[in-house]
A = this chain, B = another copy of it.
Amino acid sequence: MSNPRSLSKRERILDVAEELFALRGYDGVTLRQIAKGAGVDVALASYHFGKKLDLFNAVFERRAQLLNSARRDALRACQLSAGSEGPSVEQIIEAFLRPLELAQETGDPGWQHYLALIAYINNSPFWGPRMMSKLFDGLVSEFIAALRKALPDARDEDIYWCYHNLSGALTLTLAQTGRIDKLSSGKCRSSDFEAAYNHMIPFVAAGFRQVCGKGTSP
């Protein structure tokens, strides 16, 4: 049945595919590049995953539940620790973002590649609509609902646009992990995850309050 070597090779194919897809996109990577990177014959990818598109989807599915659970748990935790009026905007945004920072900081480069791949998908007019909602719609709805409670004066439309801005800022951060910002001449390293999120959270929270009303105090 399942021996250590087979699991290892199957997993290695997923790892390499994850990394290369994140860098060059679906069409920019060949199965032969993936196989070579994994030290494996080309046909093995087809044996384990079927068509190339199935391998692409398998890469996403591998970590999707794990990530969604972590973010859902973070939201639940901050809801429990908050009073009956619910968590503040800052707390909700923090619950939305910190699990990603933690994933990036595990030291497992696979998580960085995976999140960069998510960013790639989110900004792709072709892949975005067909994959993002399947992966994240349920989770996002929960966060939107929490935000709606924390910002009782806001119109739904406003909350949506603010979430859009949050998603964009986050996406660029995920896409640029490891990259050095030339403009800031090194002051701003995208691999400095903590700095990125410590700046993003107050930035986004202030934006929400400005556009959606003050809400409950932080």
A141–B183 CA distance with the chains assembled, in angstroms = 7
B171/A171 in contact, CB under 8 A: yes
Q: Decide yes or no whether A184 CB sits under 8 A from chain B.
A: yes
Main secondary structure of the interface of A (DSSP, over half): helix
B195/A203 in contact, CB under 8 A: no
Q: Contact residue range for chain A?
A: 35 or more
Partner of A157, one of B141, B158, B162, B184: B184
A129/B179 in contact, CB under 8 A: yes
A135–B203 CA distance with the chains assembled, in angstroms = 27
B203/A125 in contact, CB under 8 A: no
B160/A183 in contact, CB under 8 A: yes
Residues of chain B lying within 8 A (CB to CB) of residue A164: 169, 172-173, 181, 188, 196, 199
A165/B199 in contact, CB under 8 A: yes
A23/B128 in contact, CB under 8 A: no
Looking at A46-54, A63-71, A75-83, A205-213, the stretch in contact with chain B turns out to be: A205-213
A28-B28, A133-B183, A164-B188 given; name 9 further pairs at CB < 8 Å: A26-B28, A120-B124, A123-B171, A129-B182, A137-B183, A160-B181, A161-B188, A161-B196, A168-B169
Interface residues of A (CB under 8 A from B): 22-28, 116, 119-120, 122-126, 128-129, 133, 137, 140-141, 144, 156-158, 160-173, 175-176, 178-179, 181-184, 187-188, 195-196, 199-200, 202-211
